[in-house]
Amino acid sequence: MNDQSNDMPNLGITDHLGRRDLIKVGAGVGLTALMAAPMPSWAASEKPIKIGMVDPITSIFAALGHSEIKGAKFAEEEINKKGGIMGRPLQLLVEDGAGNPGTTVTKAQRLVTRDKVDFLMGTVNSASSLALSQYAARQNKLFLCTGGHVDSVTGASCSWNTFRTCSTTWMLTSGDFETLFKKFGKKWYFITTDYAFGESEQADYTKQLKAAGGTVVGGALAPVGTTDFSSYLIDVKAKKPDVLCLLLAGDDQVNCMKQIAQFGIDKKIAVGGALMELELLQALPEAARYGWWTMEWYWNQPKTPHVAEFVSAYKAKYKGQYPSARSWFGYASVHAIKLAVEKAKSTDTIKVVRAMEGLVLPPEIALQPGAPEYRAADHQLILSMFPGHAIPTGKYPNLFDVSAIVPGSQLALPASATGCKMKYPA
Amino acid sequence: MVLLLFNAFNGLIQGAFYALMALGLALILGLNATINFAHGAFMALAAYFAFTIFPYTGFWGALIIAPLLAAGVGFVVETTMVRRLYTRKDPIYTLLLTFGLALILQDMIRTIWGAQGQPLAIPAMLNHPLSNTYFFVTGYRLFVVGVALVSTGALFAVLRFSRIGIRIRAGNSDLETIAALGVNIYLLRTINFMIGILFAGVAGILAAGQLGLNPNMGDSLIMPAFVAIVVGGVGSLLGSLLGGLIIGLASGIVTTFAPAASEVVIYVIMGVMLVVRPRGLLGQEGLFE
């Protein structure tokens, strides 16, 4: 992730070489570095517009963080090739938040004070999103949350400076609730990750389940990093639910799905849940790839314009890797900031915030049917959802079958019901 | 009541797995006097080796070859790094070394194989429950217990009957004397370290079959292994075995009443043990006292 890996001459060579040789080597290295650097097409006096991105490069959220960063870098390159933002180059600075709220804020601090970034974006897990949202508000910076789903980011804890590209847990759960309920039954059991994201998902499903006349027969909160799910699964078997709803995150979801398959539970009870990611399906062997889930974006959209071009360009840049929903979050977020700056004709925080309110992503950025918009009232992007089921025998990247693309406006709570009361600084 | 029995039995299965992980760690802690924080990273490394050679060797071949490859890496690590710190009495040096090594190995895995998890499939014959009632006794878990029993048995046989094993045990109790008797203790320690990593490798591959294969997999596995050692007694391999079974059983029983506490309980047991009997169940007198 470090782009400044200029080869330094080994200092040990001074023992054997004279001063002149050292200078030659040094000059040579310097020259090569110059040649290798992309030739900027703008005047040297143009100050870059800087976006600071804090995303997990390590920790259990690393796989998702890496995808978001790849998507964001792809957008950075695309924008700079076409002349930057208002004639100024765009610079993306990436730091590792390690999925930890404290580290995330420390790294954001560094980006703001040392690198003087104009905007902040990133985060995968909800706890980090909430922490960074608060920090950015104090620093008077716009924060575009790429991947933390908890409702409160654009709900009860919404903030004038914070926008969100990924969906809310409410949208995730309502994306496939009907399918699971109608297809498989009324008695549900939850295995939920024990932090904000999972609890928010479970609350949202429970609300919809009760309204539809179903019952929750059991539930267990599993701490992040749980390796052995056997004890939870024994309880599942005893309670005999119709639907086993998995609300875990990252690697935990993979662990649990593999064990469910080994216990043979997926053969008797319908397994499903809210969020599924291409990165997770990739990590599952055939026998453990099952269930009904919701994706927030999928690469295979034969009927949507621009998607095929995006996918093939992304694949060319990243050695055959397909873009995931996370890649799209990073990509769309960088472009959204660009569009908002151009609309505001300024990088001033409050002006860009006002420009982003109601901003509609154009088709070549949205890469989905409809016109997703950053809703002015709560700053939530109203994106489509892609419910469907995993393909057990599929080969990468054909791992998921999208049954329908549901417009976000049908799924999202109305802004008045999210609990968001936006307060702007005087 | 049935649920309690189920969970207790299930806990024992899990305990056998903890014990397998703890054995390698205990070996290295004994003769190499090194608290190997990189043990989890070696587990992950072996599992990734297995994933890579899987297409050529199949699961069974990988289960044998990959731990050997990891032991090869262990050889390099011991001879180039760990060995240099034996003369320093303070354990903090090896602790820091292996802690740093764990981070480096983990990031190396991320660089080579990517940050996203990889699918490591297990043979279909192991991938299903054996009985409808005792469904938690899956083919794979029974296999894990079997491997744990066989490898533990083999280890104890080696330590008891082979020349090298007898020397390892002798070195554990008095390194200076066996050095004076002409045993090459550097070689002995290298071999011991490699056996420890071999065990880490086997445990890592078995874990990857049951859980996911990802760069962080060692993080969550290494703590129960440490706890098993502390409970069972530092310096006693039999103790580590017992420690693993006890914490597995305890966490199984607690699950019946409070699932959320099933992880905490093993640390509570460790805490109580450290207060009441710091040397652990079968630990040598004097250690930690």
Contacts of A230 in chain B (CB under 8 A): 10, 13-14, 136, 141
Q: What confidence category does residue A158 fall into, taking pLDDT thresholds of 50, 70 and 90?
A: very high
pLDDT, averaged across chain A: 89
**Following DSSP, what letter does each residue of A164-210 receive, concatenated?**
ESSPPHHHHHHHHHHHHHHHH-SEEEEEEESSHHHHHHHHHHHHHHH
Burial code (b: 16+ CB inside 10 Å, e: under 16) for A29-48 equals eeeeeeeeeeeeeeeeeeeb
| Residue numbers in A near B216 (CB within 8 A) | 59-60, 62, 251
Q: Which residue has the tokens 């960074």?
A: A132
In the 8-state DSSP scheme, what is residue A271?
E
What are the boundaries of each domain within chain A? 31-167+306-383, 170-300+385-410
Q: Which of A94, A258, A267 to mutate to test the interface with B (most CBs of B within 10 A)?
A: A258
Is the CB of residue B121 less than 8 Å away from at least one CB of chain A?
A: yes
> Which residues lie below 8 Å from residue A211, measured CB to CB, with a gap of 6+?
none
Domains A31-167+306-383 and A170-300+385-410 share a fold: yes
Distance between the two ends of chain B, CA-based, in angstroms? Answer: 40
Q: Kind and range of the H or E element at A293?
A: strand A292-295
DSSP assignment letter at B283: P
**CATH number of the domain at A170-300+385-410, please?**
3.40.50.2300
In a domain, B241, yes or no: no
Q: How far B284 CA lies from chain A's nearest CA (Å)?
A: 31
Of residues A174, A124, A58, the one with CA closest to residue A329: A124
pLDDT at A172 over 60: yes
Residue B282 falls inside a structural domain: no
pLDDT in tens, A83-94: 999 999 999 999
Chain A residues with beta carbon closer than 8 angstroms to that of B3: 234-235, 238
ipTM: 0.84
Which residues from chain A sit within 8 angstroms of residue B115, using beta carbons? 57, 62-63, 65-66
Q: Residue A29: helix, strand or coil by DSSP?
A: helix
DSSP A370-400: S--BB-TTT-BB---BEEEEE-TT--TT--E
DSSP structural state of residue A46 = P
**A287 and B124: CB-CB below 8 Å?**
yes
Across the range B49-56, mean pLDDT stands at 95
Q: CB–CB of A251 and B107 under 8 A?
A: no
Which of the four pLDDT bands, split at 50, 70 and 90, describes residue B285? low
pLDDT at A40 over 70: no
DSSP β-bridge partners for residue A94:
A53
Closest CA to A162 of A184, A192, A137: A137
Residue from the list B129, B215, B221 with its beta carbon closest to the beta carbon of A62: B215
Predicted local confidence at residue A22, as pLDDT: 52
Per the domain annotation, does B93 fall within a domain? yes
Residue A426 has pLDDT above 90, yes or no: no
Residue A8 reports pLDDT greater than 50: no
Rounded distance between C-alpha atoms, residue A156 and residue A197, angstroms:
14
How many contacts does A have with B, using Cβ atoms within 8 A? 123
Q: Say what the pLDDT of residue B129 is.
A: 83
CA A31 vs. chain centroid, Å, equals 38
| Percentage of residues of chain B with pLDDT beyond 70 | 98
Q: What whole-number distance in Å separates Cα of residue A124 and Cα of residue A106?
A: 16
pLDDT, position A27: 55
**CB of A254 within 8 A of CB of A281?**
no
Average pLDDT in chain B: 89
**Residue B208, in any domain of the structure:** yes
In a domain, B142, yes or no: yes
The yes-or-no verdict on residue B250 having pLDDT over 90 is yes
Calculate how close chain B gets to A3, using CA atoms only, in Å. Answer: 15
pLDDT band (50, 70, 90) for residue A156:
very high
Residue B163: predicted pLDDT: 93
Averaged over A104-133, what is the pLDDT? 96
Would you call B260 and A279 a contact, using CB atoms and an 8 Å cutoff?
Answer: no
User: What's the whole-model pTM score?
Assistant: 0.87
pLDDT for residue A162: 97
C-alpha closest to that of A276 among A316, A246, A242: A246
What is the distance in angstroms between the Cα of A22 and the nearest Cα belonging to chain B? 31
The conformation of residue A406, written as its DSSP 8-state character, comes to B
Are B220 and A225 within 8 A, CB to CB? yes
- Residue B132 pLDDT greater than 50, yes or no: yes
| Kind of pairing between the strands at A142-145 and A162-164 | parallel
Q: pLDDT tens for residues B197-234? A: 999 999 999 999 888 899 988 888 888 999 999 999 88
- Average the pLDDT over each of A336-345, B61-70, B176-185 and give the range with the smallest value: B176-185
Tell me which chain B residues have a C-beta less than 8 angstroms from the C-beta of A237. Answer: 135
Q: In this structure, are residues A73 and A92 in contact, taking their beta carbons and an 8 Å threshold?
A: yes
Residue in A221, A263, A283 closest to B116 by CB: A283
Cβ atoms of A83 and A124 closer than 8 Å:
no
Residue type (1 letter), A73: K
Query: Which amino acid, residue A365?
Result: I
B171-204 residue pLDDT tens: 888 888 999 999 999 999 999 999 999 999 999 9
Whether B233 is in a domain gets the answer: no
Would you say domain A31-167+306-383 falls under CATH 3.90.75.20? Answer: no
What is the torsion angle, in degrees rounded to the nearest 10, for the CA atoms of residue B113, residue B119, residue B120 and residue B126?
Answer: 170
Cβ-defined contact of B14 to A223 (cutoff 8 Å)? no
Helix (H, G, I), strand (E, B) or coil at A244: strand
A316 falls in which pLDDT band (50, 70, 90)?
A: very high
SS3 per-residue string spanning A51-70? EEEEECCCCCCHHHHHHHHH
Indicate the residue type of A270.
A
User: For residue A14, what pLDDT is reported?
Assistant: 37
Q: Render pLDDT for A213-233 as a digit per residue (tens, 0 to 9).
A: 999 999 988 888 888 888 889
CB contact under 8 A, B251 and A231: yes
Give the lowest-confidence range in B31-40, B95-104, B259-268: B259-268
Residue B115, chain A, CB below 8 Å: the answer is yes
B256 found inside a domain: no
Q: Which two tokens stand for residue B121?
A: 């499939």
In this structure, of A37-46, A271-280, A282-291, B149-158, the range with the lowest mean pLDDT score is A37-46
How much is the pLDDT for A43?
A: 58
Residue identified by tokens 């002409």 is B182
Q: How far is A285 from chain B (nearest CA, A)?
A: 5
pLDDT at B13: 85
Q: Does B207 touch chain A (CB under 8 A)?
A: yes
Residue of B nearest to A193 (CA): B260
Which residue carries 């469907």 as its tokens? A388
For chain B, the domain total comes to 1
Q: Mean pLDDT throughout A331-355?
A: 97
> What residues of chain B, 177 to 196, have a C-beta less than 8 Å from chain A?
none
pLDDT tens-digit map of A242-265? 999 999 988 889 999 999 998 899
Does B214 touch chain A if contact means CB atoms closer than 8 Å?
A: yes
B14: contact with A, CB 8 A cutoff: yes
pLDDT class of A41 with cuts at 50, 70, 90:
low
Considering the domain boundaries, does residue B129 fall inside one?
Answer: yes
Query: Percent of chain B, pLDDT > 90?
Result: 57
Confidence of residue B146 (pLDDT cuts 50, 70, 90): very high
Nearest to A273 by CA among A236, A246, A242, A241: A246
Q: Which residues of chain B lie closer than 8 angstroms to A66, CB-CB?
A: 114-116
Residue A120: band (very low, low, confident or very high) from pLDDT cuts 50, 70, 90: very high
Interchain CB distance below 8 Å, B259 and A220 = yes
Q: Is the Cβ of B57 closer than 8 Å to some Cβ of chain A? A: no
B221 touches chain A (CB under 8 A): yes
Interface residues of chain A, partner chain B, Cβ below 8 Å: 57-60, 62-63, 65-67, 194, 220-221, 223, 225-228, 230-235, 237-238, 251, 254-255, 258-259, 261-265, 279-280, 282-287
Chain A residues with beta carbon closer than 8 angstroms to that of B124: 287
Query: Does pLDDT of B289 surpass 60?
Result: no
- Residue pair B178/B165 in contact by the 8 Å Cβ criterion: no
H helices present in chain B, as ranges: 2-31, 39-80, 92-113, 139-161, 163-173, 175-180, 185-210, 217-232, 237-257, 264-276
Range of the domain at B209: 2-214
pLDDT at B30: 87
pLDDT of residue B122: 87
* Contact in structure between B179 and B41 (CB atoms under 8 Å): no
What sign does the dihedral B253-B254-B258-B264 (CA atoms) show?
Answer: negative
Question: Which B residues in the span 229-258 are in contact with A, Cβ-Cβ below 8 Å?
Answer: 251-252, 255
Both tokens assigned to B38: 């990189």
Taking a C-beta distance cutoff of 8 angstroms, is the pair A150, A415 a contact?
no
B251 contacts in A (CB within 8 Å)?
Answer: 231
* Count of CB atoms situated within 10 Å of the CB of A370: 18
Residue A237 and residue B135 in contact, taking contact as beta carbons nearer than 8 Å: yes
Burial of A265 (0-12, 13-18, 19+ CB in 10 A): middle
CA distance A248 to A220: 11
Residues of A in contact with B54 (CB under 8 A): none
Q: Which of A251, A278, A324 to mutate to test the interface with B (most CBs of B within 10 A)?
A: A251
Q: Is A10 buried (19+), middle (13-18) or exposed (0-12) by CB count in 10 A?
A: exposed
**If 0-12 CB within 10 Å is exposed, 13-18 middle and 19+ buried, where does residue A256 land?**
buried
Report the pLDDT averaged over residues A203-219: 95
Kindly determine whether residue B115 and residue A62, on different chains, have CB atoms separated by under 8 Å. Answer: yes
Summarised one tens digit per residue, pLDDT across range B78-101 is: 999 999 998 887 888 999 999 999
SS3 A120: strand
Residue A305 CA to its chain's centroid (Å): 22
Residue B257 DSSP SS3: helix
Report the pLDDT value the prediction gives residue A42, as an integer from 0 to 100: 59
> Cβ A255–B6 below 8 Å, yes or no?
no
User: Which is more confidently placed, A22 or A239?
Assistant: A239
